[in-house]
Structure 1
Amino acid sequence: MADLKVQQVQEWLLSTYRNQSKFAAFVSETGFEANGLTDNTTMTALIYALQYELGISDVTGSFGPTTLRLAPRINLSNAGNYPKNIIRILEGGLWCHGYNAGYNESFNSFGGTYDSDTDVAVKELQNDIGTNPSGNFDGYLWKALLSTDAYVTTWSNGSEKLREAQQYLNGLAINGYFFTDDFIGGYLPTDGLNSRQFNSALIYYLQAVMGMYASEATGFIGDATKAGLITVPDNLPDDVTTARHYVRAIVFALLANGYDLTINSYWSEETAAAIAQFQRDMALPVTGKVDVTTWMALLVSYGDKNRPYAACDTRFEITESRLETLKAMGIQAVGRYINGTEFKVLRSGEVERIINGGLGLIPIYQENGTNAIDFSNVIGRSQAVKAAGNARKFGIPYDSIIYFAVDYDAQDWEIAEYILPYFKGVSEALTNFRVGVYGTRNVCSQVTSAGYAVTSYVSNMSSGFSGNLGFRMPSNWNFDQFDEIEIDDWGIDKVVYSGLYPVVGSLTNRDSDEQLIKDALARVTDGLPLFTGVAGRIELDGEEKTLFDDTLIRVTFSASADVAAGDDEEVGNTIFVYNYSKMDSSVENIIKNNLGLSNQVKLDAEGITSTLASNIFYGKIESSVSVQFREIMYTYKVILYEIELLGGLTTSASITFNIYLKNYNLPPRYQVPADIQDKVIQVSHEAYQGVSAAQVISGGLAIIAAGAFLLYVGPAIITAIPTIMEGLIAAMGIILNTQPAM
């Protein structure tokens, strides 16, 4: 929502600095405007303005060391000594952060007067940050003010306890307890959210507690810091102040990992219980004490890289010699890719070598997966089908878990818009196997909470990923990837195995090419009760088989692995499908308009076609109508392209469904008269002569048949016999939407 005062700040910036060359270029490049919204461009514009007023020659819009050094030290008593534009910039920053810097009805309220309202706003900001509310505005406060960092939890929905920890560290740092310039160059946000900045500050704090000098501290865990970690509470120092800082650092680390407990500086039963729970969650020895391994797990997602592990993953082929190496290292299971090029995929005979050699297999599926655009619902459905096919090719038993990889630091909005739809598609389309998710703690937790995965493979090795900061390990984690090592000419990632779910420990007979084709054809009938019973009955002989036959309707099907040359041509009434296209309302309207259907006539033909299309990755649907021996026959022929076979080969195959409406068994008033049957034959013949123009829409539904579509009944038929057609369609609607008795 736009804010009037923010808009006034933006208008003042534009009117005052537009003629400054670098500011004008900034406006041109970013589109900065007076829209009343606080964002990065607004804060950058304020920094530009401050740098101009300070006389800095290299105006950049970034708050660097020079700006920090020259930023004016202002308070209520000396504000009159500074130019009004300096005061306006300060007030503008306060307004953009939601503080009341003074108000009256005119724009001139933003007129450069540092009054009691401004003083109160400055003190509120200092209090929110966690420093002494003195009203003295210094360089660090300027830097905090002219940023988009939040100092309240109102918008962030952060933890109030973690905010208290952030405020505490800000207060210590600014009062000289530890290294303000080195560890953050200013204040931490106090939004109650964990971040790289808070994680670094917490480590700086711990390094100061250990007694490191500023020149030694780094803000990350190195050998010196790890060597200085003590076991708490056993080895707490006698100095009470130092001991309390150690305990407080532990409490802050627990809060940062998503555990809720009282903030205190005394070792308590509550703290010991929280540590014990953390150790259980991380599959560490449960002692209730903070030893080196527990410290490391609290402070970095990868934890102690020297801790034991019983699993690994690798892109390298597990040869006989490598198998023996892994067994000698105590490895019980190895993660390998079931897709991809020879750079990483399982090689011929490798899976048998792994299983027969006494190791378990962890099947991993990753197709790109390093950017949000690699994920969508249709991509998930496509990859699920490929993964299931590949698993069967390798002889992986049904009900095994396949881990689908999200191999980057997906943000919350990306998880919502891309990752969750992808896993929804995977979970819907993966047959006979279970879904696992590989990714950050945040990704794994959200996918699991949505019900799209049974277990998690957590990429804790990426400690800098925001998705691993401030998030507990998902309760269903099976694997914890935490380090990588080189072994001669190959390498592995170290993985802790929780044992929550089994790995693949045996193999089944591999599917034949013929079975892979049959399975692919059977999947096109998912969600269509009319074609229930096809799976398990498909033979690739082209012979028509009866699915069921009753008084009003007969349904047959035939399948073939031979796609004739003519099948690849664009015939009269065809839908090309790519990436599991779904027919939306606009497409359905096109179909109805082309049919000339009135509102009183309801066909489910588009429903059948839409469902068939949603079950196809790459193929086409041909539809037709004909009259045979007084039966109206509706035909749907589905051709699938690029069915994956053994050895990476692909093929095409088809399945044809015929629906025979027994016109002669309908009540006389609902029967289609002979002249109308002749009209159906005529229109059908015209369509197959190529009357309709062809169009292909990639990734969507391609409609090839602008004239008589699907049922080939034109408006003349409907207008001529509305009563008969209404009754006929009503009868069909009942039949097509219910499963007839077998």
Structure 2
Amino acid sequence: MPHHPVRVSRRALLVAAGAGAGVLLAGRAHAAGPPPTGGAAAPPPFDDMVLRAQRWLNATYAGRVNWKPVPEDGRTGQPTVEALVRALQYEVGLDPTQVNGNFGPTTFRLVTERIGMLAAGKPANVIKIAQCGLYCKGYPGEGVSGAWGSETGRSVGALRRDMGLAEPRSTLAPTEFRALLTMDAYQLLAGGAAAVRAVQQWLNRRYAAQPWYRIVACDGYAYRPSLAMLVSAVQRELGIAEPTGAVNAATRAALHQRPPIAVGQADGGAAGFVQLFLASLIFSRYDVPFGATFTAAAAAQARAFQEFAALPASGTGDAYTWASLLSANGDPGRPAHAADCSTRVTPARAAALRAAGVGVVGRYLTNATEAFNKKIQPGELADLFAAGLRVFPIYQTSADSAPYFTAARGRADGAAAVAAARGYGFRSDTVIYFAVDFDVFDHQITDGVVPYFTAVRAAVDAAGAPYRVGVYGVRHACSRLAAAGLTVSSFVADTAYGYTGNIGYPLPANWAFDQFANDVTVGTGDGAIDIDRNAASGRDPGQAAVDPPAAG
């Protein structure tokens, strides 16, 4: 199942700043995951001052090139935030044909050069834009006056404290102005974790002055931008000149060159590796004390993560653990004890897999089209079992977009999978993994994937419940289906590490296989075979035998 990780923009949450307590999961996790993405969020409450800001924007900039009228509904949302950015772009002299509502590098440069530190005496309309932004964030003010009075200064000071910035100041630097004109919240949101928020504030405080850094939300949710800045901070501490915010080969190589973080190690001088490692554990929902020293309690939580993720359980901050905390696919070079493939496993290939340390192999029950023969071939299971390999079956035709997932399709797929599995002789305790092979958003899980799997389960039950239902997909989809009681096991598509459904979400509690590297060639000559490398948790050992007819 080849995957090509892509960067998928996180849909901005339409939420008002609020407060909420962190939630402990199994005694260690802080929050259930990032806010749901891609779905329709609950609208924020009406605010008279937000309505006033919207009316001012439309009255002031109507008729300008590239102006988009903002809805005058008194509710903060992405259209209002983009309108504030457009207004600022006009005020700093951006070419009107380039005005687009995106606070990008050119806008930031112009704000830095032509406005600088925003305070009393700056252009009135720019101050009004900041005042409107403060109202949209829920901070009080003195109207859309254009005068930088004491109330505006106090609100800016409160905003900066909520961002975690240390310097007491009631003026707005360009980096802070850019952060103001976003949908990010800087107060703890309902369901967010106080420990995650403390890390977000620490990141802002420590790195905000760096040119590569962008101030992150302080809402208690470890979603894409926060994780990207955490990765960038690690890259900067490793000496990587241009942090990218994504774990790459250079990052992994640099991590392997560092000694593991061990009990008693403490940050000193300019280095912050201990705090960054603890921050990574906290972002992954582990309850550790956040500080500059790696304690025995932190080592115990690191070991718990390693055991859960099927990593060597050393209780230290080694390179494999760093990579797995910072990116869904972790280190693709780590040992793999499982694999999946779309080509026949011959005796020579089976021997090559065994030599590479693979003990269980995922193979397809059916073909999507006759043009691509990916299913288990006659006699193949016998060859696999003779080599000491176990097998887990996968059912997938396309399953690569939201329209595929309907109840009708679920009934058909469930029946087809049962028929194929019986044809191969798979026994009744076998888990069949049904694919959700795209970056599915939360509302798509609700609207399509859940009805599909409900129908799959019904079809399996109607056939006498001979098999158990599993899922192949991103972490969020796997966890939601497990929580709904629709699946017993998860085959996680972590090679798609750039998918929104993987970033910021922990491995599902019932994960059995974790696909972390694609298109890897194992063996040579007649034994060469292209596989996807998988970690195995042992929750699904796979099948070591089938009943007749084994040849299918």
Matched, 1:395 2:456: no
Residue 358 of structure 1 is matched in structure 2 by 388
Contact 1:460 1:468 in 2 (8 A): yes
Quote the offset at 1:232 in angstroms.
Answer: 1.2
Residue 18 of structure 1 is matched in structure 2 by 62
Structure 1 CA distance for aligned equivalents of residues 227 and 258 of structure 2: 16
Structure 1 CA distance for aligned equivalents of residues 454 and 496 of structure 2: 25
Summarize the alignment of residues 267-278 of structure 1 with structure 2, pairs less than 5 Å apart.
Answer: 267-278=294-305
Q: What amino acid is the match of 1:410?
A: V
Quote the offset at 1:137 in angstroms.
Answer: 1.0
Quote the offset at 1:171 in angstroms.
Answer: 1.0
Structure 2 counterpart SS, 1:241: coil
Q: What amino acid is the match of 1:232?
A: I
Structure 2 CA distance for aligned equivalents of residues 449 and 433 of structure 1: 19
Quote the offset at 1:490 in angstroms.
Answer: 4.5
Residue 284 of structure 2 is matched in structure 1 by 257
Structure 2 CA distance for aligned equivalents of residues 474 and 216 of structure 1: 29
Structure 2 counterpart SS, 1:351: helix
Structure 1 CA distance for aligned equivalents of residues 180 and 314 of structure 2: 44
Residue 507 of structure 1 is matched in structure 2 by 546
Residue 416 of structure 2 is matched in structure 1 by 386
Structure 2 CA distance for aligned equivalents of residues 412 and 241 of structure 1: 43
Q: What amino acid is the match of 2:425?
A: G
Contact 2:236 2:243 in 1 (8 A): no
Quote the offset at 1:234 in angstroms.
Answer: 6.7
Quote the offset at 1:511 in angstroms.
Answer: 11
Structure 2 counterpart SS, 1:86: helix
Given candidates 231, 234, 253, the residue that maps to 1:203 is: 231
Deviations 1:431-480 (A, max 9, x none): 31101121222222221121111111122222222333333322322112
Q: What amino acid is the match of 2:152?
A: T
Q: What amino acid is the match of 2:218?
A: T
Given candidates 134, 147, 153, the residue that maps to 2:188 is: 153
Residue 247 of structure 1 is matched in structure 2 by 274
Given candidates 318, 330, 351, the residue that maps to 1:303 is: 330
Contact 1:257 1:469 in 2 (8 A): no
Structure 1 unaligned residues grouped into runs of 5+: 103-108, 513-645, 647-742
Matched, 1:420 2:439: no
Structure 1 CA distance for aligned equivalents of residues 73 and 46 of structure 2: 7
Matched, 1:68 2:133: no
Structure 1 CA distance for aligned equivalents of residues 445 and 153 of structure 2: 42
Residue 127 of structure 2 is matched in structure 1 by 87
Structure 1 CA distance for aligned equivalents of residues 291 and 243 of structure 2: 28
Contact 1:229 1:295 in 2 (8 A): no
Contact 1:166 1:188 in 2 (8 A): yes
Contact 1:486 1:492 in 2 (8 A): yes
Contact 1:256 1:469 in 2 (8 A): no
Summarize the alignment of residues 715-734 of structure 1 with structure 2, pairs less than 5 Å apart.
Answer: none
Residue 598 of structure 1 is matched in structure 2 by none
Residue 502 of structure 2 is matched in structure 1 by 468
Structure 2 CA distance for aligned equivalents of residues 401 and 218 of structure 1: 37
- RMSD of aligned alpha carbons: 2.5
Residue 160 of structure 2 is matched in structure 1 by 126
Q: What amino acid is the match of 2:53?
A: V
Residue 36 of structure 2 is matched in structure 1 by none
Structure 1 CA distance for aligned equivalents of residues 65 and 324 of structure 2: 51
Q: What amino acid is the match of 1:36?
A: G
Quote the offset at 1:492 in angstroms.
Answer: 0.5
* Bigger mean CA deviation after superposition, 254-263 or 295-304: 295-304
Q: What amino acid is the match of 2:116?
A: R
Structure 2 counterpart SS, 1:22: coil
Residue 732 of structure 1 is matched in structure 2 by none
**Pair 228,329 (structure 1): closer, same or farther in 2 beyond 3 Å:** closer
Structure 2 CA distance for aligned equivalents of residues 275 and 362 of structure 1: 30
**Pair 497,511 (structure 1): closer, same or farther in 2 beyond 3 Å:** closer
**Pair 74,101 (structure 1): closer, same or farther in 2 beyond 3 Å:** farther
Q: What amino acid is the match of 2:467?
A: F
Residue 478 of structure 1 is matched in structure 2 by 512
Quote the offset at 1:219 in angstroms.
Answer: 5.0
Matched, 1:7 2:42: no
* Bigger mean CA deviation after superposition, 313-322 or 250-259: 313-322
Given candidates 195, 207, 220, the residue that maps to 1:192 is: 220
Structure 1 CA distance for aligned equivalents of residues 529 and 72 of structure 2: 57
Q: TM-score, normalised by structure 2?
A: 0.82
Contact 1:441 1:471 in 2 (8 A): yes
Count of residue correspondences: 488
Deviations 1:68-105 (A, max 9, x none): 122223455xx2x3332222111111111111122xxx
**Pair 404,378 (structure 1): closer, same or farther in 2 beyond 3 Å:** same
Residue 199 of structure 2 is matched in structure 1 by 165
Contact 2:262 2:299 in 1 (8 A): no
Quote the offset at 1:228 in angstroms.
Answer: 3.2
Q: TM-score, normalised by structure 1?
A: 0.62
Structure 1 counterpart SS, 2:84: helix
Structure 1 counterpart SS, 2:432: strand
Contact 1:333 1:359 in 2 (8 A): yes
Structure 2 CA distance for aligned equivalents of residues 341 and 352 of structure 1: 25
Q: What amino acid is the match of 1:326?
A: L
Structure 2 CA distance for aligned equivalents of residues 5 and 113 of structure 1: 16
Residue 15 of structure 2 is matched in structure 1 by none
Q: What amino acid is the match of 1:404?
A: F
Deviations 1:407-430 (A, max 9, x none): 222233322332222222222221
Summarize the alignment of residues 513-552 of structure 1 with structure 2, pairs less than 5 Å apart.
Answer: none
Quote the offset at 1:124 in angstroms.
Answer: 1.3
Contact 1:311 1:331 in 2 (8 A): yes
Structure 1 CA distance for aligned equivalents of residues 75 and 382 of structure 2: 61
Structure 1 CA distance for aligned equivalents of residues 243 and 123 of structure 2: 41
Structure 2 CA distance for aligned equivalents of residues 247 and 393 of structure 1: 54
Residue 609 of structure 1 is matched in structure 2 by none
Contact 2:385 2:544 in 1 (8 A): yes
Quote the offset at 1:204 in angstroms.
Answer: 2.4
Given candidates 457, 466, 469, the residue that maps to 1:432 is: 466
Deviations 1:283-339 (A, max 9, x none): 222222222222222222222322222210011222343223223323222111112
Structure 2 CA distance for aligned equivalents of residues 126 and 221 of structure 1: 32
Q: What amino acid is the match of 2:360?
A: A
Structure 1 CA distance for aligned equivalents of residues 471 and 514 of structure 2: 12
Residue 255 of structure 2 is matched in structure 1 by 226
Structure 2 CA distance for aligned equivalents of residues 419 and 133 of structure 1: 49
Q: What amino acid is the match of 1:5?
A: M
Deviations 1:197-224 (A, max 9, x none): 22232222223333x1634776534334
Q: What amino acid is the match of 1:51?
A: Q
Structure 2 unaligned residues grouped into runs of 5+: 1-44
**Pair 385,217 (structure 1): closer, same or farther in 2 beyond 3 Å:** closer
Residue 475 of structure 2 is matched in structure 1 by 441
Structure 1 counterpart SS, 2:501: helix
Q: What amino acid is the match of 1:59?
A: V
Structure whose CA Rg is larger? 1
Q: What amino acid is the match of 1:383?
A: D
Summarize the alignment of residues 557-636 of structure 1 with structure 2, pairs less than 5 Å apart.
Answer: none
Structure 1 counterpart SS, 2:535: strand
Question: Which structure carries more relative contact order (alpha carbon 8 Å, separation 6+)?
Answer: 2
Q: What amino acid is the match of 1:358?
A: G
**Pair 502,273 (structure 1): closer, same or farther in 2 beyond 3 Å:** same
Residue 498 of structure 1 is matched in structure 2 by 537
**Pair 355,264 (structure 1): closer, same or farther in 2 beyond 3 Å:** same
Structure 1 counterpart SS, 2:127: helix
Q: What amino acid is the match of 1:376?
A: T
Structure 2 counterpart SS, 1:437: strand
Quote the offset at 1:252 in angstroms.
Answer: 0.4
Contact 2:379 2:550 in 1 (8 A): no
